Amino acid sequence: MTLEVHQLTVGMVAENAYLVRLPGSDRAVLFDPGEEPERLLGELDRLGVTLEAILLTHTHFDHVGAVTPVARATGAPVWCPEIEVGV
């Protein structure tokens, strides 16, 4: 099965966030949300999906700027590598 991947270039350093779902699914996960939470939330609305989780590959500033507002707006849990917890 092929995943549906939406690449969104966001923020002042043009970081790539990825919204991923199974084709036809109404649930998705968001990787490395970077910045521009309103834009990311708008994309969720446009696609008609519920955010199941926010996944961080690491916690550099360009990957985490939209985490708090998107998590609060959607109720999605945030997952990151154990070594990054508390950073």
The tens place of each residue's pLDDT in the chain, 87 residues long, gives 799 999 999 988 899 999 999 998 999 999 999 899 999 999 999 999 999 999 998 887 666 789 999 999 999 999 988 877 765
Structure token digits, residue 74 = 């959607």
Indicate the domain borders of the chain: 4-84
Give the global pTM. 0.89
Confidence at residue 4, expressed as pLDDT on a 0 to 100 scale: 94
Contacts 24+ apart (CB under 8 A), 10-15: 10/34, 10/35, 10/36, 10/39, 10/40, 10/66, 11/35, 11/36, 11/62, 11/65, 13/62, 15/62, 15/63
Q: Which class would CATH give 4-84?
A: alpha beta
Burial (CB count <10 Å: 0-12, 13-18, 19+), residue 14: exposed
